[in-house]
Structure 1
């Protein structure tokens, strides 16, 4: 007996038609027809791909090319300048100053937001009454635009009627005066605390999603073996949560290196809190030197990519349960 799929049966593979091979064994021949080219999946994905190419890839290529040209409406025409834009940026005092600010934003922001997110995610790992409400309230800072948060915290840091000064006055501890713009360290610290308040909720959700994949049996076995909660955290929770921690640190790196809204709204154009992204804005739209703006944007992108890859290699570990 012969069966075929997608094509007509072939009796030659089993001898004469209708006759079974010797020994009473029936041979089954399965033939697969050619796969038809399915257009629908590609048609559904095409709009998204076009959107990504138009808004991401094309501008990226344009930025790379234009960073090697002098693009200035006040100094036409556009002409090739080689590495001149990068050399000029390397000698720009404002850019050099903002490098230190951005490095501080990144280090403090990544470490603090990751530590807070891990602690909060561990607390939310076990179900309890009202957990859904807590998570909903938790994501509100992340859902707010950076400009709105900057305006909100401007009122809190206000030296006259701000919440901090009012609280200190109520406690008879005296006012704090001007918080932003006077001391560079204090300014960038307060600005980064505002950003940490914004990016931590997303980090919590990323780590919490990883913790939900850890089987309860592991914790039960650890408890039977006499492990303390801290020992269970070090031996089970942290190692198995490393993929989520790596992702959360990468998104924190991207957010902190490209910080713009918070320092610009809270501290304006002052050098005490300016970031590299702010310098890109100033060079491009205040100085109208788009060539240097493209070059600085390209450098920021390259640095972000290198640091993100370094974080992934250092933190990420494949988990197999």
Structure 2
């Protein structure tokens, strides 16, 4: 059926006065894909990332198979000799065991505390912004500053912990760090947990803010209690945030250096792999083994992060 048009009124083309057809969304997307402007705009960022991360990474991988020692020139290809020497070094093996303890304690405590504190901060309340601002302070402090601060707290003569132990009749004045290996690692890792937990809280809290309130209201109508809602709604839907929280805790604990070095010095009691990398490279001047140890830390970090993401992360569709 033909639409009627008043006499004397000319038909306006569908494309407008100009007479051209309006491009379809598909055509616009195709034009955007063929335009070089987006690639030109992101090229500086790509070059910066490549220069800052990829080039040093490739250099580390290559140099880890060479003997790069200022006391044993010249630089020459050595194959797997650096890795074999590291595997036979008792100090390296001890530091690997210590780092494993740091990872278990740090990832577990920071994740549990991060989830618990994020749930407490999930609902708005008066002073919530101030609490979050104060919570961020330990994360904002450098690790060296935290080590110096806590070295005073752990001081056997005038430290807060020693005074509390004396007041409780547990015997004050005891040296807490450097004697017992497990106790030293646990206390040092508590300092790092104090630093990394705020970031864990923020990551989990960001995931909790995406959960609709209607789900909790429906659960309450169905008779689901507070703990039931946490198990059935909060924790499953917060798994993406929890996965990221665990990955950042893994990266931080695998590369812990500041706190053990400041609190315990170069003692092997609580030495970490990162500390050994520093000792091997800058004290022994064996940069080839230092590169090999750095490559090992990188590989373990990547594999551990992938395993955590695969085990914990789940795509959430609301």
1:175 aligned to 2:166?
Answer: no
Match of 1:229 in 2: 226
- After superposition, where does 1:298-317 map in structure 2 within 5 Å? 298-317=295-314
Deviation for aligned residue 1:285:
0.4
- After superposition, where does 1:58-207 map in structure 2 within 5 Å? 58-207=55-204
Does the CA contact (< 8 Å) of 2:157 and 2:173 recur in 1? Answer: no
Q: TM-score, normalised by structure 2?
A: 0.90
Deviation for aligned residue 1:174:
2.6
Deviation for aligned residue 1:176:
4.4
What 5-or-longer segments of structure 1 have no aligned partner? 10-27
Match of 2:258 in 1: 261
Does the CA contact (< 8 Å) of 1:3 and 1:30 recur in 2? Answer: no
1:35 aligned to 2:31?
Answer: yes
| Selected match of 1:275 from 254, 272, 276 | 272
| Selected match of 2:292 from 277, 282, 295 | 295
Q: TM-score, normalised by structure 1?
A: 0.89
What 5-or-longer segments of structure 2 have no aligned partner? 1-10
CA distance in 1, matches of 2:19, 2:293: 66
Match of 1:286 in 2: 283
Equivalent pairs, count: 302
Match of 1:218 in 2: 215
Deviation for aligned residue 1:161:
1.2
Match of 2:5 in 1: none
Does the CA contact (< 8 Å) of 2:138 and 2:195 recur in 1? Answer: yes
Match of 1:240 in 2: 237
Task: Compare 260-269 and 51-60 and name the one that shifted more.
Answer: 51-60
CA distance in 1, matches of 2:179, 2:171: 18
Aligned to 1:139, the other structure's residue is in SS state helix
Deviation for aligned residue 1:54:
1.6
Q: RMSD value over aligned CA atoms?
A: 2.0
Residues 213-269 of structure 1 deviation map (CA, whole Å, 9 limit, x = unaligned): 000000001111111111111100000000000000000000001111110110011
Aligned to 1:35, the other structure's residue is in SS state helix
Deviation for aligned residue 1:51:
2.2
Aligned to 2:31, the other structure's residue is in SS state coil
CA distance in 1, matches of 2:173, 2:163: 10
Deviation for aligned residue 1:163:
1.1
Aligned to 2:172, the other structure's residue is in SS state coil
CA pair 224-63 structure 1, distance change in 2 beyond 3 A = same
CA distance in 2, matches of 1:66, 1:205: 38
Aligned to 2:317, the other structure's residue is in SS state coil
CA distance in 1, matches of 2:243, 2:176: 34
CA distance in 2, matches of 1:104, 1:259: 12
Deviation for aligned residue 1:39:
5.8
Match of 1:252 in 2: 249
